[in-house]
Amino acid sequence: MKITFNESFRLPVAEVYQYFRTPADWPRLYGLAGNPNDLGGGWYAIGLKGFPFPLIARNTEHEPERLVRWVFRGFWRGRGEVRFREVDNGVEVDGFEEISVRCLLFLSPLIEKVFLERRFRTIWEIGWHRLRKREPA
């Protein structure tokens, strides 16, 4: 499944970027379950509420306050990216996440559509909502 987004926030780019510096920062934004577990080599295991298998992710490219790219391994496979662009009244965040279940091979797209896509979109929406709550009144 591929989730794409283009979101704008009335916040400084540095404030939004801080949640994407490493996968260990994601739970602060998305409310994922548990503390991130540092696996070494830049890899982190991040528990997901309602999922039996953690996301295991590592950043592959990093330009502070401009770009972050990551990959998944383990049960999940895929990649993602966020780009930050300063605009007059804040920051615009563009990006995508492609994620699938590694062990299901050709069944993965069906399982994703029926059981997973809505849940992953909800995780992203939780993060966007939390950022909007931080915007000035």
Question: Which residue range is the domain that position 90 belongs to?
Answer: 2-133
Q: Output DSSP code: residue 114.
A: I
In angstroms, the CA 95 to CA 3 distance is 8
98 pLDDT tier (thresholds 50, 70, 90): very high
104 pLDDT tier (thresholds 50, 70, 90): low
* Closest residue by Cα to residue 9 from 93, 67, 72, 79: 93
Q: How many domains does the chain have?
A: 1
Cα distance from N-terminal residue to C-terminal residue, the chain: 35
pLDDT value at 69 more than 90: yes
Q: What one-letter code names the amino acid at 74? A: G
| Residue 35, Ramachandran bin (φ over 0: left; ψ between -120 and 50: alpha; else beta) | beta
Here the CATH number for the domain that contains residue 117 is 3.30.530.20
